Structure 1
């Protein structure tokens, strides 16, 4: 899925790495319980006392998320997740909270344990690098990060070296020497989005591409949500800037003046995007309409951020939106001080732990280690926590899901014979990878770079600057050194097993189920198979479906872009895809009075629908196979497919598990953050998927005309 993903790029070049987030362990039970593997049904299905207690406990947890006052046929999301916001663990950061995302904190607990594994590090020949990670972690624990020490000399020195901070430096700041574009380019070296929002294409030569920047701090700003000071967006951003500026002992009058200047800049910059709705393609249309020449500063970005790599002329892999940047340059020229102040504070924001309370400082420190020193932690994690038994069971599940997908392709009535043959060939060539992609030589290189990281015991600010810079450099490595790699080189993202993700990689027609995803609520070996298929099975099916969404379907079995569709079948396919666009575009998000962008989210919505259908088909097939083996008197003990404490049939549990992957607690700002994402907000992706699934209506006995079964003919491609 793609967080991910299930997590975009310009419409004229869809990123061939479709990512997907998954789930979370709220109860702290380990993954080591033995249970029958899906792939080995001859193993006796013995439920131990520990396993039974775990299942009772997890069933109670699932039940605690539910709102039984709501009919599942009226609002299945509220039924499945309505009480989650009341029983979730305490808030740790300003980020969106979800059952999906909180698995990251499960992994931080594992990371904390791994930081003590000196013998394991010795066996893996990474002892020196682990000591560097430990020094950074200890410096983080000992530092004062709440509230953020914005005035630390290390931060100010860096800001002055890349553009300056007029609010702090006053007359010493020289406007004539300031370049808003160059300062934004420098910010990208630390993973900070100023006025350049760059990403990396996940294929050779791994060059950058560009999204239009989002403005603001904790809350993305839009013209209407900062129209007056009473909106939620205004005070949240105002407070963030006030706290940073106050750290420099500025007067209240000065602080107010600086903040007012930033808001004035934002309003003018937002007016540019309003002219084309913030859509990359429409921006490029305006560039042609107004005959805007190429924005001339991009070479500076490549000099600052990419060692002068000559990607500038590779127009196939970038989206510069010359109209936007030409107009933005005019706005910045009218607000030079405000822009410099804004970018300085964006760098501070990147270094800020952004904690809601000091008690979560350890979480922050572990998250930085886990995400920024990821290749080291991943090597330890995979050696310690990813077993052959787990690999075997997930492989067996993938096999079942592929059988289900093949069955769909064989039986779908609207494909003509030749197109069906092409589709079946494509399905037969899928390569599954469980755990992670392995490149030991590159992994060792990255780990050695971690070993060279400069860490000072009593200078956390400089340490976090160094770590942020190193993480960005490692992420850009294949692009910076593309000459050293072959054209079929894999993305770096596929090497990190301990991430909460799954991928479909379009260029080699492969799916990846990363080891970090294999925690509740996505997976536990002791669960009933009905729950496993409703969670991990759906996630795998989602990734498989990406091979046959509107982007994946334009590539063949060799990963080559080729139209293998007949005119008739393609016309039906596009018509059915439009059904998803129209359906999801009808969802109004009342918190921000905006509708879901059905066109931007269509491929993820198609993948959700396909994944859910395939997973249920695979589960039903799996249970029939078990039943035949029982009838044939093989040594197979029937497994209890219900969850203790939940009065649900196995297939009702299947759908509940799917929905509870996406239990979330949104604040208003989080809807704005996700408004232009390729993934529909969590609530509406659940509602959209089940209301277009006839099996769901049958399993939960939803009458035709109810909200979850609105019409006889639902949206369906696969």
Structure 2
């Protein structure tokens, strides 16, 4: 799902249940009655689990839909109706819901004092316990926006004219500086900061998104009856009421923020949703360097100089120069917007009090991730699991090698380079380890200042610590070697996996090895359709339009011949055109096929490689153990599906999701295609799917005989 260099890529792995089966069938030693009874109990428990999980998968499906007409609806049509309710500001997604499984583990780890002592993190766990208990006792629904701690912080970084009235001095206000301060707490104002996952781990920037619960665009706030307008108005009104402002004053403030948004959006519209146009617009308009970036580095990065005094080219000088003019015309509204953005960052955003504990677990789980990872890994990621996943990676790599050997459009020179790159790939299962950096990050937790009688102050401290930990590599790059890995790779307890261009490696993180991605009892057909596909997805990222620019040593080098590269671009263009035709009716926008092409290429390649690996796996079983019934045993009880139909169902159900209108806007310009169209695009370009589900040419899932294919 993610990649590292310009970005991360996520993927997953699967285990080797066939080893367990083989051992069981080939064991011929005498057993006592007690042994036999125990084995029967294990078999019964396994059968019951499979029946239960098969019923769960079945409950997600909509059998009234022909899989050849809409495979996503067939696989996932009932998912949103049967999942347990959760507190989530963002979309719900079957794969990402694993975070709630891990949250349950986090809750148990919070009480594991003896384990913490054995791992020498007792002091850090005490800090986590203190914050968690404080969170449980605090009022988080609704946010006490008028808490003096929040107001004091807002006043220290720019002020809140809606509340401060005449005492707020516009001549002392700098919108850019206030936005820089917001980044120190993880709040997005008018600076959208991300961090490059490579040395020197400096920040980089995209055009900022505007709005609170719903990103705003010119057309979705054209009038006050749109969902974007209503949700944002409700959020601002809730905060402003906490300060006992009059209704007239509240309405005046909200109108001012919307007026600012509309003018700022008119500027953003010049980019047509494509940040890459920034440099063209900067040159066309003869814009010089925006003068305030040094302020940002002083405020957010302790004055770090990543560029030896030079100005990097990735800043969007045109945008910020023009935005500065807009902010000057709406200074008071901008200050109010940014003040409420800080409150939004501190807000639990709960809909019901019953989600209070879940919120407290998730905030410590994600902010203090290195601590809980230290506690999680010893008891939740065994050598047996590592061995299973490594075996799956090995099978998928064999499949990828066959793809590269058989790609008739590659000439021999390019093929040899591609095979050399695959041979050089390094798999890392569980997590990457750097004990020295991990210990330093853990020690930072000890220094967290908490206030048992003031949760707001404690939350502010925790938010600031979280950003400090996130920026650690960049803040200390001068003391690091150039081959230092990104901090993300140290946290095995996350629902993720990556391909890292700079060292040509894939990372399968331990936290992702839960249903709906992996369970050691599953049929192999299902495991290859879920984990196997995700591993293949990550492997393929080494050969997408970005990954193909790196060689097997992680060096940027053009190893393509002109002939092969021309065909490669033509085949990649097929995916751009295919996905760009998907219309999202909820927001009347099309998928951005160009922005998502690498993820779509990786999905297609991963799915093909996983099925080929599964088929080869069955051949190996039949040769080694003469298991003629292996395909039958690879079915799921309660589902009337062949093993290969189950394979594709497992893939599809990874992306079962529940979107509200605001989530479509949120994900519209992301690197990954929106879940539904991710499934539809992958299977409608997969000839094996059409064969397995008997889809005729002309059906929605097989629109034409020839499909898009790179790998």
Equivalent in the alignment of 2:135: 140
Measured in 2, the distance between the counterparts of 1:217 and 1:22 equals: 32
Q: State the alpha-carbon separation in 1 of the partners of residues 23 and 144 from structure 2.
A: 57
1:27 aligned partner:
none
Alignment match of 1:674 (pick from 667, 670, 685): 667
1:687 paired to 2:680 = yes
CA distance in 1, matches of 2:201, 2:660: 35
Structure-2 separation of matches of 1:39 and 1:322 = 58
Structure-2 change in CA distance of 1:697 and 1:65 (3 Å): same
The aligned runs of 1:71-220 (5 Å cut-off) are 71-220=66-215
Among 410, 430, 434, the alignment partner of 1:435 is: 430
Structure 1 residue 422 displacement after superposition:
0.3
**How has the CA–CA distance of structure 1 residues 492 and 559 changed in structure 2, closer, same or farther, with 3 Å as cutoff?**
same
What is the aligned partner in structure 1 of residue 331 from structure 2? 336
Q: Report the 3-state secondary structure (helix = DSSP H, G, I; strand = E; otherwise coil) of the residue aligned with 1:578.
A: helix
Deviations 1:65-99 (A, max 9, x none): 00000000000000000001111111412221111
Alignment counterpart, residue 454 of structure 1, candidates 433, 438, 449: 449
Match of 1:704 among 678, 690, 697: 697
Show the counterpart of 1:508.
503
Q: 1:227 aligns with which of 222, 226, 242?
A: 222
Aligned partners of 1:39 and 1:392 also within 8 Å: no
SS at structure 1 position matched to 2:141: coil
Partners of 1:41 and 1:626 within 8 A in 2:
no
What is the DSSP-based 3-state SS (H/G/I as helix, E as strand, rest coil) of the residue aligned with 1:100?
coil
TM-score by length of 1: 0.95
- Verify the 8 A CA contact 1:190 1:468 in the aligned structure 2: yes
Residue 665 of structure 2 aligns to a residue whose secondary structure is helix
Tell me the SS of whatever aligns to 2:24.
coil
Per-residue Cα deviation, 1:307-327 (whole angstroms, up to 9, x for no partner): 111125688976211111011
User: 5+ residue gaps in structure 2?
Assistant: 26-38
Q: Which residue of 2 aligns with 1:28?
A: none
| 1:398-477 → structure 2 map (5 Å cutoff) | 398-477=393-472
Q: CA deviation at 1:275?
A: 1.5
Coordinate RMSD, CA, aligned: 1.8
User: Aligned ranges for residues 306-345 of structure 1 at < 5 Å?
Assistant: 306-311=301-306, 319-345=314-340
Q: Is the 8 A contact 1:626 1:638 kept in 2?
A: no
Distance 1:467 1:645 in 2: 47
What is the CA–CA distance in structure 2 between the aligned matches of 1:380 and 1:49, rounded to whole Å? 32
Deviation at 1:39, TM superposition (A): 5.6
- Report Cα offsets for 1:385-431 as digits up to 9, x if no partner: 11111111000000000000001001111000010000000000000
Q: Answer 1 or 2: which has greater helix percent.
A: 2
State which of 484, 491, 498 in structure 1 corresponds to 2:493: 498
Shift in Å at residue 38 of structure 1? Answer: 4.8
* Residues 605/612 of structure 1: CA separation in 2 closer, same or farther (3 Å cut): same
The answer on whether the counterparts of 1:355 and 1:361 sit within 8 Å (CA) in structure 2 is: yes
SS at match of 2:348: coil
Aligned length: 696
2:264 to 255, 261, 269: 269
TM-score calculated relative to the size of structure 2: 0.96
User: How far apart in 2 are the matches of 1:41 and 1:403?
Assistant: 22
Distance 1:279 1:326 in 2: 18
Q: Pick closer, same or farther for the CA change 1:637–1:698 going to 2, 3 Å.
A: closer
Mapped partners of 1:186, 1:49: distance in 2: 58
1:206 Cα deviation (Å)? 0.3
Residue 51 (structure 1) shift:
1.2
Q: Are 1:357 and 2:386 an aligned pair?
A: no
Separation of aligned partners in 2, 1:461 and 1:532 = 45
SS of 1:20's partner is coil
- The residue aligned with 1:282 is 277
* Bigger Cα displacement from structure 2, 505-514 vs 281-290: 281-290
Q: List 4+ stretches of structure 1 deviating above 3 A.
A: 14-17, 35-42, 312-318, 636-639
CA distance in 2, matches of 1:632, 1:614: 23
* Corresponding residue number in structure 2 for 1:42: 22
Q: CA deviation at 1:278?
A: 3.0
Counterpart CA distance in 1 for 2:312 and 2:632 is 51
Quick one: distance in 2 between partners of 1:276 and 1:574? 25
Kindly provide the CA deviation profile for residues 323-358 of structure 1, in whole angstroms up to 9, marking residues without a partner as x. 110110000000000000000000000110011111
Matched residues in 1 for 2:320 and 2:630: separation? 66
Aligned equivalent of 2:599, options 604, 611, 616: 604
